[in-house]
Amino acid sequence: MQELINRAKQLLSDGTVARVLGWKAGDMTYNPEPAFFDNVKDLEEHFVYNGFCGANLSKYMIEASKLEGKTLVCLKPCDTYSFQQLLKEHRVDREKAYIIGVGCKGKLNIENIRKAGIKGILSVSGAELSDACDQLTITTLYGDKSLPYADAMLERCSVCKGKEHKIYDELLGDSKETKSADRFAEVERIENMSAEEKFAFFQSQLSKCIRCNACRNVCPACSCRKCVFDSTKFDSSQKANADSFEEKMFHIIRAFHVAGRCTDCGECSRVCPQGIPLHLFNRKFIKDINELYGEYQAGADIEAKAPLTSYVFEDVEPSVVAQRSRS
C-alpha cells in the first residue's frame, strides 16, 4: 500500500495528475469509502487499499472525465473491464485517466463474516495486500475469531475472470488467483429447474427488493444520464413495488438493458442490502450470448464488436426462443 501511496504522491506532485481516485480509510477496518484526493497530506493520512476495497471505481470516472486535468484511478483487474467497456461506449475519456492497475487477492464481503456468526466486529487483520490473504483474524466485542479468507470473499472473486488488467498505464502490487468455482454453475442449476421452481426461486429473492436502486446506481453499465425509472412521466411506481410484478419488471428490464455490455463485475450483488443474487440475471445473458453468438466478454477488448449490436448472417434466428423452450 505504501508503494501505491508513494507513486500517487509522486504523480500528484509532478503535475501528471490533478487528483487521485482511490479509497479512504473508514473508522472500521471494513468500511473504506471511494474518495478523491487532491493533496499529498490527505493521501498520506487517509489513503487505504486492502481486502475491503471492493468498490469498482470505474463509474466515478464518468464524472471525473469532465474535470480539469487527469485523474489517477486505482483499478483492480475486474474493474478494468468496466473501464474499457465505458471507454467503448464513449462515457469516459482515456486522456483524462491515469490508470494504476492495482493487485488483487480477492475482495471481502463483511456480510459473509457476519453470516459466519461473527458479531460485534471491532477490527479485521490479514486483509492487507501484503498479507498472504489466507486467514482473517477478527477482534470482536465477544472475543477473537478467525475465518478463512476465501470464506469471507465476495462471490464474484470465486469466479474471477483472472488477475490480468485489461487497460492500464502502470501496474502495482501482487495478485493471487482466487477462482475456485465455475462461473455459470449457478445459472445452470437454475436452468435445470422446472418452470414452477424457477418462479418460486425468483419470487423469493426478488420479493425482498426494497427499490433502493443501489444496484442500478453502482452499475458501470447503467450510465444513462436519466434513467427511465426516474422519469416522472413513467406511469408506474418508481420507488416502491406496486405489486409482485413490478419488482421483477425492474430487475428484468435492467438486465435486458445491460445485456452484452455487463462485464459481470458483480457490484450489483455486492451492494444489494437484501442480498439478492442479481448477478445471476446478467450471467444468464452472458451464458446465452456465449452459446448463441460465440464467446464474448464485455470489456475485454476495445476493438471487438458487441454481439447484440453487430448483425451478421450467422446470427441466431428469433425462433431459437421457441426451440429452446421446447427442449
Partner 1 sequence: MRRISIEALPNLYGKIAQSMDLILPVKTADQTNFSVWSDGCEVDLQTLKTVKSPKDAFFPQSETLYTVKKENRKLNVQPQALKDQDFVVFGMKACDLQGLAVLDKVFLAEPVDTFYAARREHGVVVTLACREPEESCFCKVFGVDPSQPNGDVATWIVDGYLYWKPITAKGEKLTELAKDLFEDASDDAVKAQQTSIQAIVEKLPYANLSLNGWNGDALDEKFNSKVWEELYKPCLGCGTCTFVCPTCQCYDIKDYDTGHGVVRYRCWDSCMYSDFTMMAHGNNRNSQMQRFRQRFMHKLVYFPANNDGMYSCVGCGRCVEKCPSSLNIVKVIKAFEKKEETV
Question: Are the beta carbons of 255 and 282 closer than 8 angstroms?
Answer: yes
CB of 270 to partner 1, least distance (A): 7
Cα 326 from chain centre: 34
Of 8, 17, 35, 154, the one binding partner 1 (CB under 8 A) is 35
Q: Give per-residue burial for 215-250: e unless 16+ CB within 10 Å, then b.
A: bbebbbbbbeeebebeeeeeeeebeebeeeebbbbb
Q: Shortest Cβ distance from residue 35 to partner 1 (Å)? A: 6
Burial of 99 (0-12, 13-18, 19+ CB in 10 A): buried
Q: Is residue 27 within the footprint of partner 1 (CB under 8 A)?
A: yes
Q: Given the rule CB under 8 A, which of 23-31, 287-295, 298-306, 314-322 is the region that contacts partner 1?
A: 23-31
In the list 2, 3, 10, 26, the residue contacting partner 1 (rule: CB under 8 A) is 26
Task: Determine how many CB atoms are found less than 10 A away from the CB of residue 318.
Answer: 7
- Taking the complex as a whole, the smallest distance from the CB of residue 151 to partner 1 amounts, in Å, to 16
**In Å, how far are 43, 76, 173, 281 from 46, measured between CA atoms?**
6, 19, 19, 37
Q: Are 263 and 227 in contact (CB under 8 A)?
A: no
Does the protein bind partner 1 through residue 16 (CB under 8 A)?
A: no
Q: How far apart are CA 154 and CA 270, in angstroms?
A: 7
Q: Taking CB under 8 A as the criterion, which residues in 255-284 touch partner 1? A: 270-271, 273-276
Binding residues for partner 1, total number by CB under 8 A:
46
- Tell me which residues in 128-157 interact with partner 1 (CB under 8 A): 140-142
Q: Which is nearer to partner 1, 206 or 289 (CB)?
A: 206
Query: Can you give the binding site for partner 1, defined by CB under 8 A?
Result: 26-28, 31-36, 55, 110, 119-122, 140-142, 204-205, 207-208, 210-214, 216-218, 230, 232, 235-242, 270-271, 273-276
